[in-house]
Amino acid sequence: MSEVAILAAKYGVETKALANVLRNMSDETVNAAKENVQITATRFQEDSLGKTEVIMGNTDAAKKGKLTRSQAGLPDYTLAYIIAAVVIVIFLALLLKR
C-alpha cells in the first residue's frame, strides 16, 4: 500500500505542476489578446504521466494546433536536407558534364 501512496503523491505533484503551467500559459495568452498582441505559447513535456503537447495563442501557427519539430524538442533536419540536395545537384552536374 505504501508504494501506491508514494506513486499517487508523485502523480499528484506532477499533475498540479502541469496544471499550473497550463494556467500560466492560458493567462498570458488572454492578457496578450486583451492588449492586441500576437502570441504563440508552446509546451512539450514527457514525464511519468505521459506526453503532453500544448499550443496556445492567437497567431496562425497557434490556430493550426500543430507543434513544429523544434517546439516538440525533436531535431530539425531541414538544413541537412538542403545541403544534401545541393551536394547531389553539384555531383550530377559534374557527372553529366563529362
> Is pLDDT above 80 for 65?
no
Q: Which three cell numbers stand for residue 25?
A: 500559459
52, β-bridge pairs: 45
pTM value surpassing 0.75: no
Q: Which helix (H) or strand (E) holds 98?
A: none
Place of cell 536536407: 81
> Is pLDDT above 90 for 15?
no
pLDDT at 91: 92
Q: Which three cell numbers stand for residue 79?
A: 538544413
pLDDT at 61: 79
Show the beta-strand stretches assigned E in 1-98.
Answer: 40-47, 50-57
